[in-house]
Amino acid sequence: MNHSNEYDAKEYFQKIYERPVILEAKQLSQVFKHDKIERTVLNKIDLKIHKREFICVIGPSGCGKSTFSRVVAGLDPYHSGEILVDGEKITGPSPERGMVFQGYTLFPWKTVKENVMFGPLMKGASNALAEANAREWINIIGLEKYENQYPHQLSGGMKQRVAIARALVNEPKILLMDEPFGALDPHTRQKMQKHLMDLWQNIDITIIFVTHDMDEAILLADRIVALKANPGEIKEIIEVDLPRPRNFDLIQTAEFKRLKEHVNHLVHAQEDELDPALEDLPKIPRMTQISANK
Ligand SMILES: Nc1ncnc2c1ncn2[C@@H]1O[C@H](COP(=O)(O)OP(=O)(O)OP(=O)(O)O)[C@@H](O)[C@H]1O
Ligand SMILES: [Mg+2]
């Protein structure tokens, strides 16, 4: 018998699977047409994500991770199959699905506070209510001293925190993050990972997080969805059976290394499935005049 405070992975995952399904992809396919040639990028994806799960999506470059995020965000129509949130078909973007994408930037002409107020104002909140909601989230992300600054006056990490606050102020059911910390230095990245874990522990939210970084995926996820490329299909779904709350010491443990080896193998043993655009990179012509033997 287990002590009540002892981590039991089987029990942990059983509890997750008992929770309602919040996002379901059924035979979801995405096909892009270019010069009359059709290319299947996502091929018949079946996936069930449960309420309050933390899902990380990994896979080689070009396998369709961002394509999947954009479909879930409602930014792109999809080719066939179905994708449901709480049993309802996704037909476009909605504040119930918050987005933090690397290229999806803040409004440069708005201050931190105005950026965060934007969502509530769009939903019809009064200025006073929008401001109160924005302040609450700006406090949570620890940027109260910066609320009247503009994005160009912030560091990359701060901007990502504002982007997270801007998404969370709408109280989304799902937070979609596509390589949100990819441009940050390792130290800032760790701080953001810790902050995100704390946020997720404390609010009712399901997170779908795309990353290239194996450590990040293992540290954050309940389950890791590993995609393969050409066409994008689910290669394996890995249950990360590491106790929570997690901290960075975990990375040095044998259990973590075991998982990492497995995940690395899954992603890197795909040389024959790489993005065709990466296959025949051109030889770089020599353009320097300075030295012939550098
Ligand atoms: N709008 C589009 N039109 C045509 N092709 C597209 C479009 N969007 C993506 N693709 C193609 O779909 C494939 C998957 O792209 P996607 O951006 O989803 O990959 P990814 O897994 O996010 O890669 P990365 O890890 O490099 O971010 C690529 O080959 C890309 O060229
Ligand atoms: Mg991408």
The pLDDT tens digits for 6-16 are 789 999 999 99
Give domain limits for the chain: 1-96+172-294, 107-171
Mind listing the pLDDT tens digit for each residue in 97-133?
A: 999 987 667 999 999 999 999 999 999 999 999 999 9
pLDDT at residue 179 tops 80: yes
Architecture of the 1-96+172-294 domain: 3-Layer(aba) Sandwich (3.40)
| Residue 218 alpha carbon to ligand 1 centre in Å | 24
Q: Of 221, 135, 147, nearest to 177 (Cα)?
A: 221
Tell me if residue 81 falls in helix, strand or coil. Answer: strand
* pLDDT value of position 4: 54
Length of the chain counted residue by residue: 294
Copy the structure tokens of residue 247.
Answer: 């901290």
pLDDT at residue 272 tops 70: no
* pLDDT value of position 216: 97
Mind listing the pLDDT tens digit for each residue in 17-40?
A: 999 999 999 999 999 998 889 999
Copy the structure tokens of residue 139.
Answer: 């406090």
Q: For a substitution probing ligand 1, which of 66, 176, 178, 274 has the most ligand atoms within 8 Å of its CB?
A: 66
* pLDDT value of position 279: 65
